[in-house]
Amino acid sequence: MDQMIRILGVDPGLRHTGWGVIAMDGPRLGWIAHGVIKPAVEADMADRLADLCEKLRAVVDAHAPHEAAVEETFVNMNPRSTLLLGQARGAVLATLAAAKLKVAEFAARKVKQSVVGTGAADKTQVAFMVRRLLPKAGEVSADAADALAVAICGAHHRPLPQQRLKA
């Protein structure tokens, strides 16, 4: 008999950090909750990061995930944007580690491939497949859909339990 595992997926960002919690019961996946954390854009960087940490910790406390999956930083042409995103991602990783969660990290391409079947999928395709795989989630924003996709990727790439490896 399989045990249900709750996985928190996080798509870090300074303006919008998407989060989604799914349940994995054997091969079946189910939606639990999702949302977007939006720190005040007029606040200074330290306050924005603190707000992100506090609100993410509240999500962890409310939904008690067993583990987490986080999307890796996409390195783009603007080094400043990449650096700022890296700070948000660092805050997310520190918050999850402080909550004693095991954290898996996935490249955006791997997440898209896991959910859509191609690493070149766009946000619309990802959201479409998230709605198909987790119909109880209903309509989700792009940031929450990305976070749920990260959680799905985490579920698909979990290590097999030891007893299955021996069989």
Q: Which CATH number fits domain 5-166: 3.90.1150.10, 3.30.930.10, 3.20.20.30, 3.30.420.10?
A: 3.30.420.10
Note if 105 is an active site residue.
no
| pTM, full prediction | 0.92
Extract the tokens encoding 75: 């390195």
Catalytic residue chosen out of the listed positions 11, 72, 105, 139: 11
Distances (CA, A) of 134 to 70, 95, 107, 148, 152: 19, 26, 21, 9, 10
CA 42/CA 15 separation, integer angstroms: 10
In DSSP notation, 19-85 reads EEEEEEETTEEEEEEEEEE---TTS-HHHHHHHHHHHHHHHHHHH--SEEEEEPPP--S-HHHHHHH
**Could you read off the pLDDT tens digit of each residue along the chain, which spans 167 residues?**
358 999 999 999 999 999 999 999 988 999 999 999 999 999 999 999 999 999 999 999 999 999 999 999 776 778 888 888 899 999 999 999 999 999 999 999 999 999 999 999 999 999 999 999 999 999 999 999 999 999 999 999 987 654 444 44
Catalytic residue chosen out of the listed positions 44, 51, 71, 72: 71
Per-domain boundaries in the chain: 5-166
Note if 44 is an active site residue.
no
| Angle 134-138-141 from CA coordinates, rounded to 5° | 100
